[in-house]
Amino acid sequence: MNNKKVFSFHMFLQTLKQTRLAGFIMMAVITLISVVPIISSLSYIKEYKQVNNVGGISGNYFLVLVFIIVVPVISLIVWSFLNKRSSSDFYHSIPYTRLCIYLSKTAAILTWIAGILVVSYVSQAVLFMANRQYFNVDYATMFRMYLSIFICSLLCMAIINVSISITGNILSNICVTGLIMFLPRFIALMVTELTVFHGETYMISNSGVGLLDSSNNMIVGWVFSVFDIYNGPSGIADMVLSLTSNLYTLVLALIYIALGALLFVKRKSETAGKAANGKVLPMIIRTLIGFSIAFIGVMIAYTSIDNDETIAVVVLFIVSALVVFVYECIVSKKMNVIKQCIPSILLGYVLAVVIGTGANSFGKYEASYEPDASKLAYVSIQPMDMYYASDNGYFSSISSKVQFTDEEILKYVSEKFGAYKDKCISNGVHNYIYNGRGSVTNYKVGFRQNGVTHYRRIQLTDSDANKLSSLLKKDEKFVKAYMDLPDSDKISVNYITGNMEDSDCKDIYETITSEIKQIGFEKWYQTVTSDVDTFLMSVRFSKKGVTYDMVLPISKNMPQSYNKYIGIRNEYAIRNNEKELGTMSDILKQYLNDSSRTWDKYTSGYETLSAVLVYNDTRTYINMDSYVRKDEEKAQKVLNGLIESLDKKNFNKNINADNPCIVLNYEKYNPDNGETVLADAIIQLNGYTRTEDYISDIDYY
């Protein structure tokens, strides 16, 4: 179509040609960044025969460069003619309507954005498919990641379109773009921070409600995520996959594109070279610039507890005035601008005080929120102190993903939050209640009411936490998440206690997942939420775009997995560490002959041997020197039994998970080449059924 009134294909092509150098450079850079990490990781993955899980989001954070750098650079190049009077006059004189110019050039920018993202996505997909045996890729989620970046880029482009339509030089272009993009969200952030301030001990940091949620505008959500200003339990993945965030950002972008078209059509050519045309618009820009800094001063005044922050507030108000003055001097290229700056500075002060006071009032209102169980749609619950909890721990995040609608759960959590909030208020909302582990557990709770989620912190005693746990376990989705673990071909092993092949780890994992179904949810839940850490396996997998680390305890409560693990570990030692097993036997013999000298030799040098008694999922470290000297008779029998097992290499057998066993860990470091040799053996002596059979109730240290 080459309609000079609406869209010109010729102008579209000419704009692409004008920006081809920048466009192709950006495309090459983004594509290289997208594929180089994959290529560089292949040699390591192939060497160790690992399978890498690719969720499609965390590995593509670099894509933010598209809307942070690529879009601004290309957009400013495309619209640079608007900042020069001669070129602006030329474009306004050619036989094309302004709407046609706007739409044709906007289409060219969009083409570069889409082209760069498509080339990057295809390049990654081709690499992953060519090496599919080494990668488990969630292509659908990866596509959604690219789509969200495109929407963010669309919004960034739209905001720049608006700013260039009302300003006439590069500084004002940048300042107005920043104001439009970040000022509304900056105000929302300050409102949220005031809300948290007024309920510090029971509020969750960054707990913006409704439109105040930073993730609604995905550009701001990405920027704020760098500073950990985000609500989602799974971090940025929640925003990328959120239909609300994507639609909100898309609609906002379309509104700004339409607004940009309207303003561009009405733009006067003489705006080129000026901060903005007329008197009102430049004043608005100056006012907002001054307001942005003065507003920080007002926030400091409202959030000071005991200290007098008057000096800080005064300094920020002075800085606000100076920034406005400097800005006006630069854009107007005049020094005598004080007279025209004073109204903007004073108006900025008034706005800062008025909006700051309103924000403070809303903060108090939101902090006073108390959930009404009868009106709640659902609650989400995330343990904050769980033993295996981490930023991306699977089990710690399960309850945050489930929407609990059971009336008993809603009522119980609401009552407990109300009681905790009252306790915080009586204690002082800025004085944290002691959070001793073992006495209380912290939870992040999301109360969904009237279409808005209110995030709050509650503390529960052990008995209350157990009561809550018993209620959650009635929820089918909660149970299913704990019981239905990913298949072995969808995981990669991060870590496992002891030495074995990666294929052996997968074998153990399959046994665990199978046995979980046999022992049932109650026993598995008790095991995985306990402090069991004698033997552990950590695996990584991706689910709905989120990459999780999942720590699986190998417990006596799961005898099949326990035996499988110990059998594989011992089989590996017998097959691969024959020399080291002989050395371990020799060291034990030396302990029987001269324990003190042996202790000095094998605990502080390049060669060490340690012994751990494992019983009932607990560990007792044995000081071999004291053991031999203070418990000589028992030590003689135990060490001789261990020596015989090592010499005969007959310790790889089915063990009784209810009986104790000894774990011997051997390590030898070679300082010449920096290599370390590791070997271990897990031995259960016949007839030794209690800890007292191995060690006496004496202090070995």
Mean pLDDT of 463-489: 88
The residue type at 469: S
- Which has more pLDDT, 595 or 193? 193
pLDDT, mean of residues 400-420: 91
Which two structure tokens, joined as six digits, stand for 690? Answer: 């209690």
Alpha helices in 385-501 (DSSP H): 394-401, 407-427, 462-472, 476-483
pLDDT computed for residue 116 by the predictor: 96
Task: Report d(CA 197, CA 276) in Å as an integer.
Answer: 39
Q: What is the model's pLDDT at position 13?
A: 94
What single letter denotes the amino acid at residue 435? Answer: N
Mean pLDDT of 118-147: 90
Residue 343 near residue 282, CB atoms below 8 Å: no
Confidence (pLDDT) at 228 = 61
Q: Which residue has the tokens 């002082």?
A: 428
For residues 334 and 292, which has the higher predicted lDDT (pLDDT)? 292
Q: What percent of the chain has pLDDT over 70?
A: 91
The two most distant CA atoms of the chain are separated, in Å, by: 106
pLDDT at 58 over 80: no
Which pLDDT value is given to residue 390?
A: 40
The tokens of 128 are what? Answer: 């992953």
Res. 34: pLDDT tops 80: yes
pLDDT tens digits, residue range 645-660?
A: 999 998 888 888 889 9
Q: Residues 651-674: what's their mean pLDDT?
A: 87
* Alpha-carbon separation of residue 501 from 184, 292, 637 (angstroms): 54, 58, 33
pTM assigned to the model: 0.77
Report d(CA 310, CA 300) in Å as an integer.
Answer: 9
Q: What is the mean pLDDT of residues 391-414?
A: 83
The reported pLDDT for the residue numbered 594 is 77
Side-chain-side CA neighbours of 201 within 13 Å: the count stands at 20
CB atoms within 10 A of CB 22: 16
Residue 292 has pLDDT above 90, yes or no: yes
30, pLDDT greater than 90: yes
Gyration radius of the chain's alpha carbons: 33
190-212, pLDDT tens digit by residue? 888 888 888 888 888 666 666 77
- Is pLDDT above 60 for 434? no
| Predicted confidence (pLDDT) per residue in 71-117, tens digit | 999 999 999 988 888 888 787 778 888 899 999 999 999 999 999 99
Whether the per-residue pLDDT at 699 is higher than 80: the answer is no
Task: Please compute the mean of the pLDDT values over residues 523-552 and round it to a whole number.
Answer: 83
pLDDT exceeds 70 at position 395: yes
Is residue 542 left, alpha or beta, with left meaning phi > 0 and alpha meaning psi from -120 to 50?
beta
The pLDDT of residue 306 is 66
The more confidently predicted of residues 463 and 387 is 463
Q: Is the pLDDT of residue 41 over 90?
A: no
Residue 1 has pLDDT above 60, yes or no: no
Q: Which of 132-136, 177-181, 202-206, 321-325 has the lowest mean pLDDT?
A: 202-206
The continuous run of DSSP H or E covering 607 comes out as strand 607-615
pLDDT at 418: 92
Res 53 pLDDT > 90: no
**What does DSSP say about strands 661-670 and 675-683: parallel, antiparallel, or unpaired?**
antiparallel
**What local confidence, expressed as pLDDT, does residue 388 receive?**
41
The rounded distance, in Å, linking the Cα atoms of 640 and 653 is 18
User: Which of the pair, 254 or 618, is modelled with greater confidence?
Assistant: 254
Specify the long-range contacts of residues 321-326, CB closer than 8 Å, at least 24 apart.
321/290, 321/345, 323/289, 323/290, 323/293, 324/286, 324/289, 324/290, 324/348
Q: Could you give the CA distance from residue 380 to residue 575 in angstroms, rounded to a whole number?
A: 49
Backbone angles phi, psi at 493, to 5 degrees: -90, 120
Mean pLDDT, the chain, as a whole number? Answer: 86
Alpha-carbon span 167 to 162, nearest angstrom: 9
Mean pLDDT throughout 554-578? 92
Per DSSP, the three-state class of 375 is helix
> Is 50 exceeded by the pLDDT of residue 683?
yes
Amino acid in the structure at residue 389 = A
Lowest mean pLDDT among 2-16, 276-290, 383-397: 383-397
Rounded to 5 degrees, φ, ψ at 582 are -65, -40
Question: Model confidence at 436, in pLDDT bands (50, 70, 90)?
Answer: very low
186, 494, 507 from 598: Cα distances, Å? 66, 35, 38
**Which among 153, 155, 157 has a CA at the least distance from the CA of 120?**
153
- The larger pLDDT score, comparing residue 603 to residue 271, is at 271
Rounded average pLDDT over 634-638: 90
| Per-residue pLDDT reduced to its tens digit, 217-261 | 889 888 877 666 554 545 677 788 888 889 999 999 999 999 999
DSSP state of 68: I
Separation of alpha carbons 177 and 182, rounded Å: 8
pLDDT for 391:
42
Of 369-378, 379-388, 396-405, 552-561, the least confident: 379-388
- What pLDDT band is residue 572 in, cutting at 50, 70 and 90? very high
State how far the alpha carbon of 377 is from the alpha carbons of 179, 221, 480, 494, in Å.
Answer: 36, 25, 21, 38
Please classify residue 96 by burial: count the beta carbons closer than 10 Å to its beta carbon, then call 0-12 exposed, 13-18 middle and 19+ buried: buried
Instruction: Tell me 282's DSSP state.
Output: H
| Cα dihedral 325/330/333/336 (nearest 10) | 10
Query: Cα separations (Å) of 72 from 109, 178, 255, 281, 327?
Result: 10, 11, 19, 23, 21
